[in-house]
Every structure is written in structure tokens, then in C-alpha cells.
């Protein structure tokens, strides 16, 4: 009888921890980033995937409270900085990569949370060297791991593709969180469990050209959740697209079918 009562108590506790299903972006202020994480085993054909069991409950509030910009510029951003996503002004300063219709489905709420639409959007302005800060939130996708898990991507100079994936607890890999596709594997996988906010800081130096010829390649340093994942890496070799490199370019946020959110997008040209 006592044993049965103990089992019932554990079941009730588990239900309480699970809480309601997330229907929008998490809020570090309200504690909605206290999420129950199921154990997920590798079930695809990718040999780089390991098998991991995520913690039953993962609290990210302590991390996001320190690294989230919320209503202020990130540390190190000064008077040259500008916010690229202003609450209440929609997608001012952004446009579709292929056309105006690309903005369809992208929505900004009153708190400045940006819900991604199905197609890619880009900044109206081009940038050469800069510091970029943003935060993203991926949906939980239990049972979907590796290439099948939720992911999002940005392109720097509309060329260098940077990946962010729901791959918490897995080894660093060439297509995982913090990777520059076709260029650089991250030093470490710094991803945290979805759906909490995950801050990213990118320090980018554009390529140097002389008569259309690259004399110095682009370089990137990047931090994810406050952890160094790319350390002044030279971006040589293959890149997205067949066009010759340019010394400046737009920043592209790629679209998708899953509910991916962004917020606090700041840039400091240098």
C-alpha cells in the first residue's frame, strides 16, 4: 500500500513539472524557461550523433538573466550600436531576399519577439566589419535528433552560413550549433535545451579585396550562451553561392516551417 502511494506521488510530481505546453516564446522574467526535457536517443543515420539522456528538468533562467539584453544593449555595445528589431515597428529595416512577399509570416509582437516566417529575410543595409548580438529560441522536438531536429540559420554577408540546432548534449560537429557550414566546426557544442532563449555574439571581419581578388579572408569569432565556439577563424575555401566575395553584405535570417523565435538583435559596425 505504501509502495503504491509512493508511485502515485511520483506520477503527480512528474505531471506538475511538465506544465503546460509552450505556445509562444519563453520568457526569462516569468520563469517559462523551466522546462521538462525527455530522454532522446539517436535514431537517424548520422554517425556523428551520440546518444544522450537530457536532464529531467533544466533551468536556464540563471544563464539568460545574465546574457540576455532584454531592454538594453548588450555589454560592449556603445553609441555606434543600433538595434535591428525595434518593438512596435514591425520589420522596419528588413526586406525579403527574393521579394517583398518574403516578409509574409514573419511577425513581431509588442515585446520584440520575432516569429520566423517561411522565407528568408535580410537587412536593408550592408555591413563590412561588425559585432552582432541576437537571441534565438527553438521549439522542442522530442524524438527528432541530428539532422531531423529543429534548427535555424543566419547568413553573414549573405554568404557564410551559421547553424543553430536543437542538439543539446551532443558532440560538436561540422553542422551543429555554432558551426560555419563548409568552413569551421565549433570548438564545443554550447547549445542549451530548447525552448529557452539562447544568446549569440558574433564578431566578424569581412574579407579584404584588391581589384576583386581576396587579399585577406573573412574572419569570425563567436560565442553561444557565453561560451567561445569560434576563435578568430579564417573563412577560406567554399562558401554559399557562386558569386565572387564582396567586402560587405547583408545579414540574412533564414526562414522555415517550425516556430523559431528571435529577439534583441543588435549590431555594432566597426
Residue of 166, 138, 140 whose CA lies nearest to 49: 166
Distance CA 182, CA 239 (A): 7
pLDDT digit string, tens, across residues 208-244: 999 888 999 999 999 999 899 999 999 985 555 556 7
The reply to whether omega before 195 is within 30° of 0 (cis) is yes
The whole-number pLDDT of residue 26 equals 67
Task: Report the b/e string of 86-124 with b at 16+ CB within 10 A.
Answer: eeeeebeebebbeeeebbeebebeeebbbbbbebbbbbe
pLDDT digit string, tens, across residues 41-90: 333 343 333 333 322 223 333 333 345 565 667 877 888 899 999 888 88
Cβ proximity of 77 and 133 under 8 Å: yes
Give me the domains of the chain, ranges plus CATH numbers. 21-269 (2.60.120.560)
Distance CA 97, CA 121 (A): 5
Q: How many Cα atoms within 13 Å fall on the side-chain side of residue 190?
A: 22
The whole-number pLDDT of residue 124 equals 95
Cβ proximity of 81 and 266 under 8 Å: yes
Distance CA 87, CA 108 (A): 7
CA end-to-end distance (rounded Å), the chain: 69
For the CA atoms of 176, 37, 138, 146, what is the dihedral angle to 10 degrees?
30
Q: Does residue 162 register a pLDDT over 60?
A: yes
Q: Does residue 252 register a pLDDT over 50?
A: yes
| Predicted model pTM | 0.77
CA 256 to the chain's CA centroid: 13
Amino acid at each position: 500500500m505504501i509502495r503504491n502511494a509512493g508511485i502515485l506521488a511520483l506520477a503527480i510530481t512528474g505531471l506538475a513539472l511538465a506544465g503546460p505546453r509552450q505556445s509562444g516564446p519563453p520568457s526569462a522574467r516569468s520563469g517559462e524557461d523551466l522546462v521538462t526535457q525527455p530522454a532522446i536517443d539517436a535514431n537517424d543515420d548520422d554517425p556523428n550523433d551520440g546518444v544522450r539522456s537530457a536532464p529531467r528538468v533544466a533551468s536556464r533562467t540563471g544563464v539568460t538573466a545574465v546574457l540576455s539584453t532584454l531592454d538594453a544593449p548588450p555589454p560592449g555595445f556603445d553609441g555606434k550600436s543600433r538595434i535591428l528589431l525595434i518593438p512596435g515597428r514591425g520589420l522596419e529595416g528588413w526586406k525579403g531576399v527574393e521579394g517583398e512577399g518574403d516578409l509574409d509570416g514573419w511577425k513581431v509582437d509588442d515585446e520584440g519577439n520575432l516569429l520566423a516566417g517561411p522565407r528568408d529575410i535580410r537587412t536593408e543595409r550592408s555591413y563590412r566589419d561588425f559585432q552582432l548580438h541576437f537571441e534565438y529560441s527553438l521549439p522542442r522536438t522530442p524524438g527528432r535528433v541530428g539532422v531531423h531536429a529543429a534548427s535555424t540559420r543566419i547568413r553573414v554577408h549573405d554568404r557564410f552560413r551559421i547553424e543553430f540546432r536543437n542538439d543539446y548534449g551532443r558532440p560538436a560537429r561540422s553542422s551543429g550549433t555554432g558551426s560555419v557550414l563548409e568552413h569551421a566546426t565549433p570548438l564545443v557544442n554550447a547549445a542549451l535545451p530548447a525552448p529557452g532563449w539562447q544568446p549569440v555574439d558574433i564578431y566578424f571581419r569581412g574579407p579584404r579585396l584588391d581589384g576583386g581578388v581576396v587579399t585577406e579572408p573573412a574572419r569570425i569569432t563567436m560565442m553561444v550562451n557565453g561560451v567561445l565556439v569560434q576563435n578568430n577563424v579564417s573563412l577560406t575555401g567554399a562558401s554559399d553561392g557562386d558569386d565572387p566575395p564582396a567586402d560587405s553584405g547583408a545579414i540574412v535570417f533564414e526562414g522555415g516551417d517550425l516556430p523559431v523565435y528571435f529577439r534583441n538583435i543588435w549590431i555594432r559596425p566597426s
